[in-house]
Amino acid sequence: MTLQVRCAHRFESGFDVAVDFSAEHRTTALFGPSGAGKTSLLMMIAGIIVPDSGRIVCDGRVLLDTAAGIALPPESRYVGVVFQDQRLFPHLSVEANLRFGRRPRRQNNGAPPFARITAVLELDALLQRRPESLSGGERQRVALGRALMSAPDLLLLDEPIAAVDEPHRETILRYVDRVVHEWNLPMLYVSHHRSEVQRLADWVIALDKGRLTEQGPPDRVLGAGAVVAAGEPVNLLRLEDVSPSDDGGWLATVAGDAPIQWRLPAGVENPGASVFVQFAASDVMLAAGATTGLSARNRLPATVIDLVPRSGRVFVALQLGEQRLWAEVTADAVADLGLAAGTTVTCLIKSAALRVID
């Protein structure tokens, strides 16, 4: 799928959006702080907002061309939209909400089978319930299923876990990931959370104040500058080749020219697969010299990329294999260790600090 977007629009508030980009990856994230224009841009692609000028083309099909007087209505764009607040019909059951999403298609190729949608999203037990009786995560799964029922060419997701409580956010991300892979659907995903974007996206388009500031793979775009825009960084790394160790624990590697081995905590469920590990920047200690006699089992060589001072602390961006890592240190530690771009250090991380996400 190739999505070409060129839009310019000024709102009555005085805020304006002017962007020009192409998206060719399966999962593209629109990333940036609140008020950057991400949702406004998504609504232009969906046809809910018609920009002052622009052109939007999805796989050669023109959805918008203001110069030619073309502006297809939302129902004719074949995009499925999942809103932050779900927008389910409160008087309808879950099943009725899902079936409401079905739309007639050109060539009558239909939506994914209803039974398969409910199976993948695990909705069968909820079909006769009303939205008011559902949790935030359950409502979001219904909204995702309703979007799939329209047989979309493209999924548009606007901050889909913002209204979901913290313990269930990873669960929703897993469902989103499952949907994309089950039906090989291209997706445009809006978020201001770095960990979400790094978890899902193949390509990132960064926005700020209605303008495109950068685009590229997640590890590059979500670099040193991202911490300033999006708050404190959360480390989320992909590890490969999970295998049991001789002492009953688990090992995995970070891909690169010379694979770097990690020791994981107990609880890994899928040996041989890849997993994500999540941990805070404050869980990473840095050493510039010998690291013997320490309890931290993960001692990983890395290179300093950048230093980002913030509120009396310094966030250190590090290159670890093919991925990036963040450490939080004090200004005194920067001076004592002689940290600067290009410095080689050892990262010390306790296995117990790692949260494994299969």
Cα–Cα–Cα angle for 153, 54, 86, rounded to 5 degrees? 45
List CB contacts of 247: < 8 A, sequence separation 6 or more.
none
- Cα four-point dihedral sign 104, 106, 110, 112: negative
List, by residue range, all CATH 2.40.50.100 domains of the chain.
234-357
List, by residue range, all CATH 3.40.50.300 domains of the chain.
3-224
Q: Which residues of the chain have pLDDT under 50?
A: 106-108, 228-229, 257
**β-strand partners of 54:** 7
Q: Between 136-149 and 166-183, two packed helices, what is the crossing angle to 10 degrees?
A: 20
SS3 12: coil
The upper half-sphere exposure of residue 356, i.e. CA atoms within 13 Å in the direction of its Cβ, equals: 22
Q: Which fold has domain 234-357?
A: OB fold (Dihydrolipoamide Acetyltransferase, E2P) (2.40.50)
CATH number for the segment(s) 3-224: 3.40.50.300
> What is residue 34's predicted lDDT score, i.e. its pLDDT?
86
List CB contacts of 194: < 8 A, sequence separation 6 or more.
31, 222, 226, 227, 230, 231, 233, 234
List CB contacts of 300: < 8 A, sequence separation 6 or more.
254, 260, 262, 320, 346, 347, 349
Question: Which residue in the block uniquely carries the two structure tokens 């192409």?
Answer: 22
> What is residue 210's predicted lDDT score, i.e. its pLDDT?
95
The upper half-sphere exposure of residue 229, i.e. CA atoms within 13 Å in the direction of its Cβ, equals: 22
> What is residue 108's predicted lDDT score, i.e. its pLDDT?
42
> What is residue 254's predicted lDDT score, i.e. its pLDDT?
66
